Structure 1
């Protein structure tokens, strides 16, 4: 009973750091660390220079550090509104946090070694790193799909509009996961058939779709909380939220059409 009531309490009264569970504090701290890692590597890029794009660049530890850090913090926050058992949620969050660290660490390591991180099978070590990142991607899909299923299985808690924001955010997040899996799958096929450079180039068309759809699960729930602090009527807040969801969906659709035209 206590676990089922937790989302309602947390939706109405911000708990702050002191009210977080141990798993939540661990995940938020890890997310902050990953974001700092991304910012540090941005400084490294500014000092060291080199290309921003391409399979070997400082862009990858920057963008992956920031993206994984923000996503981990966002997922830790938004899943507090889900009606899911406390132990199950904590276990999923810890696995997700560990996987985020492994992904960013592998990408960062290869950036410092000045070799590609994904789809790189040039040496046994590079192959091991690439396979670890691929398996880690599979773990991400499983964990986030479990949270998405929980969002649709039982009505989440939170202020008015949070149900739509969470379900829309997780649905769009699934697009990000599928596009990421498609990038890896296509690249692996090309790599194993002897087209290594084509494997690296093949991910370019899917990156905008992947990037656009990745953070809806943070943006839309955050918008709900911002709207809840305004003096606008519920109807006005609802219209703004509907417009935001529609705009996000349209952006994902446009990115998807671009993929279809270049795939």
Structure 2
């Protein structure tokens, strides 16, 4: 099965994904500056927090997925195609959230006007696309052992497994909010996601932290056995953090 050298800059399409991710990160940082100048609340459904955090999170996630999937044993064309759709979806998500922030209206679960409903539904559908794409990458990581230095296969598989928790919690937030919105509890819908946000946030970036740990360890002179054990400990610690966030979600849901 065609596969390029893992962990290295690849074809032009890979560089395009990395550049797109960087633009999204810069968008988040730019809106942090806007917040510093314009002020206003940091929390709540209408704030500059959303374009900041979503720009940074989606940008980092896109860069991460573009890098980490280079360790997967899957065809180059399939991987590039999935990454292209993923990158476009990330742009749509951040773009919709940023647009609504400048309009000073909520971006998610907002059914106040036909336009707001269209934006909200686009973001919801985009979230569904993200779930499908990342689930496909996760399945690929478990079907065929990822490549890479000692500990990297474990890190990649664990990262994608924890990422599935983030996707599930994100879907749960959207589902609960939609139900509240459809039953006439619009304001409650805006605040219904608070309990799941820590779980979603913690589990979202395991796919970066754990492979990055394996990559950093590969730069040391330690034996493969030692490096693999350290990655295993890192996986255990991350799992404990996710479990703690899960307990918090259950207690406060």
TM-score bracket for the superposition, by shorter chain length: over 0.9
Q: TM-score by structure 1 length?
A: 0.94
Q: Distance in 2 between matches of 1:79 and 1:261?
A: 35
| Equivalent in 8, 23, 48 of residue 15 of structure 1 | 8
3-state DSSP of counterpart to 1:181:
helix
Note the residue ranges of structure 1 that are not aligned, 5 or more in a row.
none
Q: Does 1:76 align with 2:63?
A: no
Corresponding pairs, count? 253
CA distance in 1, matches of 2:79, 2:228: 29
CA deviation after TM superposition for structure 1 residue 15, in Å: 3.4
| 2:232 maps to 1:239 | no
* Separation of aligned partners in 2, 1:57 and 1:257: 28
Report the Cα distance in structure 2 between the residues aligned to 1:22 and 1:225, rounded to whole angstroms.
23
Gaps of 5+ in 2: none
> Counterparts of 1:89 and 1:232 in 2: how far apart (Å)?
32
1:125-144 aligned within 5 A: 125-144=115-134
Residue in 1 that maps onto 2:40: 50
Match of 1:260 in 2: 250
Task: Report the CA distance between 1:239 and its aligned residue.
Answer: 2.4
What's 2:169 paired with?
Answer: 179
Deviations 1:175-232 (CA, angstroms, capped at 9, x unpaired): 0001000000000000111111110111000000000000110111111010011122
Which residue number in structure 2 is paired with residue 159 of structure 1? 149
**1:152-173 CA-partner distances (Å, limit 9, x unpaired):** 0011111111110000000000
Q: How far is the alpha carbon of 1:238 from its aligned partner?
A: 2.2
Aligned-CA RMSD value: 1.0
SS of structure 2 residue aligned to 1:213: helix
Residue 233 of structure 1: how far off its partner (Å): 2.8
Q: 2:75 aligns with which of 85, 88, 109?
A: 85
User: Any idea what SS the aligned residue of 2:166 has?
Assistant: helix
**Alignment counterpart, residue 106 of structure 2, candidates 91, 103, 116:** 116
Q: Which of residues 81, 85, 95 is equivalent to 2:85?
A: 95
| TM-score normalised by length of structure 2 | 0.98
